[in-house]
Amino acid sequence: MIAITAAALLTPRERIEHPLLLLDGEVIAEVSSRSARELPAGCRCFDFPDGVLAPAYLDIHIHGGAGHDVMQANAEGLSRLELFLAEHGVSGYLPTTVTAPEEQILRALEGLANAIESAAPSGQGVKARPLGIHLEGPFISHARRGVHPPEYLVPPTLARFERFWQAARGHIKMMTIAPEVEGALEVIAEAARRGVCCSLGHSDSSLEIARAAIAAGAHHATHTFNAMRPLDHRQPGILGAVLTDSRITADIIADGIHLDPTVVQLFLRAKGAEAAVLITDAISATGMPDGRYRLGSFEVEVRGNRCTSEGRLAGSVLRLDQAVRNVMQFAGWNLSDAVRLASANPASVVGITGKGVLARGADADVIVLSPRGEVRKIFVAGRINE
């Protein structure tokens, strides 16, 4: 058994001062305070006198990092990415596809399904684990496609969705879809029935169609404001639904590039600590020097933390721990609420149990933060990066 003590612990909904956290193998055995009980005999003890314990982060929208693109779905590249993610406080992630020829998407889904089914602790260091797949494209709008190649966009059909589902062997946890595209509402209803988080994004949708999609089973929005019809005071469009409907959660890229800090404040006021989520939309260039990198089937140029393809933003090089700190800086939020947007909330959005919280019986995925949110240590499945 492992005993961890620190200055404070974030569940993250509750803050506990001078906590005692007990890990038994891959699960949390107890969350209490040092004043409530003695250290159990025979424990391996870790003390972080000025540290803050928190649930490890989950990135539900990430295309790559450390030089690797997840569409390649090879074991060596994913391992490098997962080591990098763990260094920045992430214990679990949804490798995210991009629009490409259907056969290329199917191969990527099969490779990612293999990675998910074989993920386990190893002797190669503490690593993040793939927990499911985020299918971003090809069911998106031509008008709001961003850098997704237009020649590979296709309308959603039950038959196409079934092919993707079978290739992924049921591991699709999340799907970004434009609700105004013909066939979208039927596919949303079927995907939601199978437990997929249907997320509205890359969309030029009207308010009425967005509401119909929510009624059909969509309950999230992808990188809010980006690749969406702009908010208009007479025709509010998809953003009118996302910002006002309490049934829908939403995520943002809080890097100061995709959204101005004032818009981050606006978003957080609209959705609050219950419904806001942080993502990175990170590409293979994350953690690498400036240069040219792959995003699916095309190249992206990275200069000074800005990723572009043909003059358009193309993902990011944001790390999730930096996104948490940015929320604290941009919106004046405290560490506890900011941590929640990268832990408990994303786990809830995609229906992953045992992650994103520090509670008895939850997975032993724990990060040690400084009071300002820098990641000092991580435990994944009870193993520490020493």
Query: What amino acid occupies position 95?
Result: P
The confidence band for 162, taking pLDDT boundaries of 50, 70 and 90, is: very high
Sign of CA dihedral 138, 139, 145, 146: negative
Q: Which of 35-39, 128-132, 217-221 has the lowest mean pLDDT?
A: 35-39
CATH 3.20.20.140 fits 57-355, yes or no: yes
> Of the residues 59, 69, 251, 281, which is catalytic?
281
Per 3-state DSSP, the chain is made up of helix, strand and coil in percentages (nearest 5) of 30, 30, 40
Instruction: Provide the strand spans (E) within 113-221.
Output: 129-130, 133-136, 172-177, 197-200, 220-221
CB atoms within 10 A of CB 223: 26
Tens digit of each residue's pLDDT (9 = 90 or more) over 291-333 = 999 898 899 999 999 999 989 999 999 999 999 999 999 999 9
CA-based radius of gyration for the chain: 20
64 φ, ψ (degrees, to nearest 5): 165, -170
pTM: 0.97
DSSP 152: G
Q: Supply the pLDDT for residue 350.
A: 98
What is the distance between the alpha carbons of residues 283 and 204, in angstroms, rounded to a whole number? 24
Percent share of the chain, pLDDT over 70: 99
Q: Which of these ranges, 17-21, 40-44, 135-139, 250-254, has the smallest mean pLDDT?
A: 40-44
Q: What are phi and psi of 328, to 5 degrees?
A: -60, -40
Residue 287 is predicted with a pLDDT of: 97
Class of domain 2-52+375-384: mainly beta
pLDDT at 119: 81
Q: Would residue 281 show up in a list of annotated catalytic residues for this protein?
A: yes
- Show me where the domains of the chain are located: 2-52+375-384, 57-355
3 state DSSP class of 75:
helix
Q: 2-52+375-384 and 57-355 share one CATH topology?
A: no
Residue 346, pLDDT score: 98
